[in-house]
Structure 1
């Protein structure tokens, strides 16, 4: 594999032991992927940082890198951790869990990764069409590739960190235009009315993931546009939960256009949409409403604030998850919401935090991704639309 002179120097240790080790690992991945060379990246986003997910082994790996003097070579951000870094005492977190989670964040911060603790870097970072990045959060990877038109593979958290340290990624997979062409056409035109009227884009996403697997699908007939950020977020996050792809080409949303002549086609009817939805409609006695997977944007949080300003207090607890930046932006509303039985958390989400410790084991959510993972963790889950979930919270089930 071709290496630039600077990359040869990095491997020879001229830029330090840690950077040499990082690039050596990236080169091995590149060789295994059949890459002919590496590509310089603009940004990295590191997932898998919750102590709940990575445990002591992950903590030791990160602290080991930090002790060796590892530092990122490009701007880098991190995914949500296992709790709200301010409100953790209210989340049923043990002292051992708390201490080790903070050690994870410190180790990454010592390496220069900004503790943004959000899964939606695409809402805050200046990533543009054609930029090569190394992201490892599935919904962020899908948004970057599918909506922005950036180039990133669906890397694991450790690889994204090593790519951030070395400043390079293998020029393979979705970094190459030749691998971004549709391999399957999924046509939702027959089911478009029920999806649009009931706002079932998260269910459509679950279907896309199940059907496409690791293939790049071209999705037609959903009627989405680039302005439908909330629905696109929910759709892509759900697709990334049930599927392994890193790119979903969506008509009128994705900036890339490819000829799909001769590509296998699957048509979706309303019956199939209903069948998939039924898989995530458990009967609940008194579920807690959890919203924010992916993290809620400022606009989405303000919409929820407006809803409860009009409807009064929630009869069932509501948990909102967002970035620290959004949390700080809404200021005094946090306490007003708490008095209405609505709790706002930053830095974490319902999937990577010990949810049963502070919210119970029955949940209502509008996120196909959260429904998929929480159900797999043993929770009873009812997947509803955002409107239905909020109505459920105030006792006005639709």
Structure 2
């Protein structure tokens, strides 16, 4: 595999122990995937930030890497952690737990990360078509490749961490033109009206992810447009939950042309959508959780405004967003409305049962999939229907 002179110096340790470690790992992965060379990346986004997920071993590794002089060589953001760093006392955790989460955040900060603690870097970072990235959050990877036209593999958190230090990624997978072409068509023409009228784009995403696996699918007939950011977020996050693909070509949305049409076509009817939805029919839920992926400013403001007009919701509502958004919207009036607005974390990477409930409703196919796998009772419903149910007598 070809390395330029600077990359050779990094690999040989001339730029320090942490850089050499990062390069050894990136090069080894590149060799496994038969990459001819590495590619410079513009931005990295690292997952594996929640103490709930990585535990003491992950914490020790990150602190050790920072102690060795590990520094990010490109702008780097990080995924949500286990708690809201300001409101953690409301999340059923003790101080020692929070102290470890803060140490994780501190290690990332010492390495030069922008500690965003959000899963939606595409809402805040300047990413353009053709940019090479090293992103490890599945919904962000899918949004970058599918909607923006940037290029990133669906890297694991540790690999993205090393790529952020090296500033390089293997030139393989979705960094290459030939791997961004679809190998099957998923056609929603027969069910698109039903999906749109009932707000079931998350359910459509669960179906696409399961059918695609690790392949790039071409989605036709779904009726989404680039302006439909809220629906695209939910759709692509759900794709990433049930499938391993890092890209979906969406008719009318994706900037890249699909090329030759694949021979394999899967037609999705209304009954298919209903059958998928029925997998998440939990009843008697105690709380509603929204924000997987994290809600935008406009989404949070719209939900708050809905309850201010319609009345206090009958069940507790938990909203998850970035710190940037929360700092603009958090106020005393929210708790009076039975709304709990959390930043820095989400329902999937926090201990939801400790502060909310183990029986919840959500509009997120991704959240429904992962919470159900953890033993939670989950009802998957469109956001509009959930909001209406919460204020009905």
Scaled by the length of structure 2, what TM-score is found? 0.99
User: Deviation at 1:94?
Assistant: 2.3
Query: What's the counterpart of residue 321 of structure 1?
Result: 320
Contact 1:83 1:348 survives alignment (8 Å): yes
Q: Please give the alpha-carbon distance, in whole angstroms, between the structure 1 residues aligned to 2:282 and 2:351.
A: 21
1:202 maps to 2:199: no
Q: Please give the alpha-carbon distance, in whole angstroms, between the structure 1 residues aligned to 2:387 and 2:315.
A: 10
> Cα distance 1:154–1:20, how it changes in 2: closer, same or farther (>3 A)?
same
Q: Please give the alpha-carbon distance, in whole angstroms, between the structure 1 residues aligned to 2:97 and 2:339.
A: 25
CA deviation map 1:190-229 (0-9, x unaligned): 0111101101000000000111111100000011000000
User: Deviation at 1:392?
Assistant: 2.5
Query: What's the counterpart of residue 392 of structure 1?
Result: 389
User: Deviation at 1:390?
Assistant: 1.2
Query: What's the counterpart of residue 42 of structure 1?
Result: 42
Query: What's the counterpart of residue 99 of structure 2?
Result: 99
User: Deviation at 1:391?
Assistant: 1.9
Query: What's the counterpart of residue 133 of structure 1?
Result: 133
> Cα distance 1:108–1:6, how it changes in 2: closer, same or farther (>3 A)?
same
Out of 371, 374, 378, the residue aligned to residue 377 of structure 1 is 374
Structure 1 runs, 4 residues or longer, greater than 4 Å off: none
1:73 maps to 2:70: no
CA deviation map 1:236-288 (0-9, x unaligned): 0000000000001100010001224343111001001000000011122x420
1:231 maps to 2:231: yes
1:312 maps to 2:307: no
Q: How does 1:340-355 map onto structure 2 within 5 Å? A: 340-355=337-352
Q: How does 1:260-279 map onto structure 2 within 5 Å? A: 260-279=260-279
User: Deviation at 1:131?
Assistant: 0.1
User: Deviation at 1:170?
Assistant: 0.1
Scaled by the length of structure 1, what TM-score is found? 0.97
User: Deviation at 1:328?
Assistant: 1.3
Partner of 2:290, secondary structure, is strand
User: Please, what is the CA RMSD of the aligned residues?
Assistant: 0.9
Q: Please give the alpha-carbon distance, in whole angstroms, between the structure 2 residues aligned to 1:20 and 1:237.
A: 34
User: Deviation at 1:230?
Assistant: 0.3
Partner of 1:353, secondary structure, is coil
Unaligned runs of 5+ in 2: none
Unaligned runs of 5+ in 1: none
Contact 1:364 1:384 survives alignment (8 Å): yes
Contact 2:296 2:325 survives alignment (8 Å): yes
**Number of residues of Structure 1 aligned to a counterpart in Structure 2:** 393
Query: What's the counterpart of residue 215 of structure 2?
Result: 215
Contact 2:292 2:366 survives alignment (8 Å): yes
Contact 1:182 1:263 survives alignment (8 Å): no
CA deviation map 1:368-395 (0-9, x unaligned): 0000000001110000001111122223
User: Deviation at 1:60?
Assistant: 1.2
Q: Please give the alpha-carbon distance, in whole angstroms, between the structure 1 residues aligned to 2:332 and 2:178.
A: 51
Query: What's the counterpart of residue 181 of structure 1?
Result: 181
CA deviation map 1:115-138 (0-9, x unaligned): 100000000000000000000000
> Relative to structure 2, which stretch is displaced further, 170-179 or 298-307?
298-307
Contact 2:184 2:216 survives alignment (8 Å): yes
Out of 330, 333, 336, the residue aligned to residue 333 of structure 2 is 336
